[in-house]
């Protein structure tokens, strides 16, 4: 069989190839901001409802997600990536229950790839992830989640509890992020064999560390993160408030403005009367459960999604975004 290729056919194909190369070179030279504008034309239209604080310091909060992409975990990750072209996160906070149902076995566990690396692979999500332990992590190898910090380029959990300080866009305002391991504060866990590792933790030592950290902080914002909520209108609304009993006094004493948690598989904003701290639940990273409304509920929604926070010297803007890219709630908390 003889295949005839004309000179004109070769020319047309070379022309198409050269045009493609030129287009790629031009696009790469546009710079990040221009590329975002290009991509935004093709992004989820719902995201145009996001409130953009140009001078804000942006980060995301997500929790209860590690299910190999199922229960819309992958869809939420895609929306996070798309939102990053509008409000690029400086970092992402995970409020725990990172791998279901029993945590991970080692730093080489396949779940790290199938539930994390292969799901949150977008360029806007390749930033530091500051992580806390959830109760499902305690069913596996707790130390492995800590040790993965030394293997991953973005996973950050250097210890059971730790602090990170950031400087905002104005180069003056400081924000301190205090990450807790709330599992040992759940008194019921000491009776459950699957949570036996909580017995290895010194709750008094952690509480003293928390109080000292808040007392000595010179930051303009002191933000606390843990897995278990102090308040909820969700499934566990009638549970004993063990974690609240351990932590609320010090939160109130040092006027912690915001506490981010997960554990409940929904999105909530809770502000009890007479309580200084605003409490947020962001545990809708994959499977969700029905939620409710209490006297102290400002917002409650049982739908997969996450929170976007824009931090400024004078206020904090918090926006809830669902798996479809819809902004379902927004609130400003003044400094």
Which parts of 226-314 are beta strand (E)? 258-261, 267-270, 278-282, 297-301, 305-311
pTM higher than the cut 0.95: no
Q: pLDDT tens digits for 166-199?
A: 999 888 999 999 999 999 999 999 999 999 999 9
Residue with tokens 């992830």: 129
Q: What is the mean pLDDT of the chain?
A: 91
Quick count: other Cβ atoms within 10 Å of Cβ 17?
A: 10
Q: Is the pLDDT of residue 26 over 50?
A: no
Question: Which helix or strand (DSSP H or E) is residue 199 part of?
Answer: none
User: Distance between CA 157 and CA 131 in Å, rounded?
Assistant: 5
Q: Which two tokens stand for residue 118?
A: 């292969």
Q: pLDDT tens digits for 304-332?
A: 999 999 999 999 999 999 999 999 999 99
Of the pLDDT bands very low, low, confident and very high (cuts 50, 70, 90), residue 158 is very high
Q: Hey, what domains does the chain have and what are their CATH numbers?
A: 41-334 (3.60.21.10)
Tell me if residue 60 falls in helix, strand or coil: strand
Q: pLDDT tens digits for 257-273?
A: 999 999 999 999 999 99
Rounded to 10°, the helix 203-216/242-253 angle is 20
Question: Which helix or strand (DSSP H or E) is residue 82 part of?
Answer: helix 73-83
Cβ-Cβ contacts under 8 Å for 243 (sequence gap 6 or more): 182, 185, 186, 226, 228, 229, 230
């Amino acid at each position: 069989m003889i295949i005839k290729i004309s000179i004109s056919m070769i020319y047309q194909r070379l022309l198409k190839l050269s045009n493609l190369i030129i287009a790629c070179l031009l696009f790469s030279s546009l710079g990040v901001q221009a590329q975002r504008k290009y991509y935004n034309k093709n992004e989820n239209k719902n995201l145009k409802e996001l409130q953009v604080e140009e001078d804000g310091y942006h980060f995301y909060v997500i929790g209860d997600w590690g299910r190999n992409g199922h229960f819309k975990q992958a869809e939420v990750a895609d929306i996070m990536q798309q939102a990053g072209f509008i409000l690029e996160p400086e970092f992402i906070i995970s409020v725990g229950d990172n791998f279901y149902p029993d945590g991970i076995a080692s730093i080489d566990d396949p779940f790290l790839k199938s539930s994390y690396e292969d799901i949150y692979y977008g360029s806007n999500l390749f930033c530091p992830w500051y992580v806390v332990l959830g109760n499902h992590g305690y069913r596996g190898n707790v130390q492995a989640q800590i040790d993965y910090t030394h293997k991953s380029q973005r996973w950050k959990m250097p210890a059971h509890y730790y602090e990170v300080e950031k400087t905002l866009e104005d180069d003056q305002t400081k924000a301190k992020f205090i990450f807790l391991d709330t599992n040992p504060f759940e008194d019921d866990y000491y009776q459950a064999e699957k949570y036996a590792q909580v017995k290895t933790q010194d709750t008094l030592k952690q509480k003293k560390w928390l109080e000292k950290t808040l007392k000595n902080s010179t930051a303009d914002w002191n933000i606390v993160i843990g897995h278990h909520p102090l308040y909820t209108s969700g499934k566990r609304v009638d549970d004993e408030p063990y974690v609240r009993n351990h932590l609320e006094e010090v939160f109130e004493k040092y006027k912690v403005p915001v506490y981010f948690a997960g554990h409940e598989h929904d999105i909530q904003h809770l502000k009890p009367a007479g309580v200084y701290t605003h409490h947020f639940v962001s545990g809708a990273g994959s499977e969700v459960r029905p939620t409710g409304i209490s006297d102290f509920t400002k917002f409650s929604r049982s739908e997969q999604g996450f929170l976007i926070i824009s931090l400024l010297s004078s206020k904090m803007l918090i926006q809830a975004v669902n798996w479809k890219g819809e902004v379902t709630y927004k609130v400003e908390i003044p400094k």
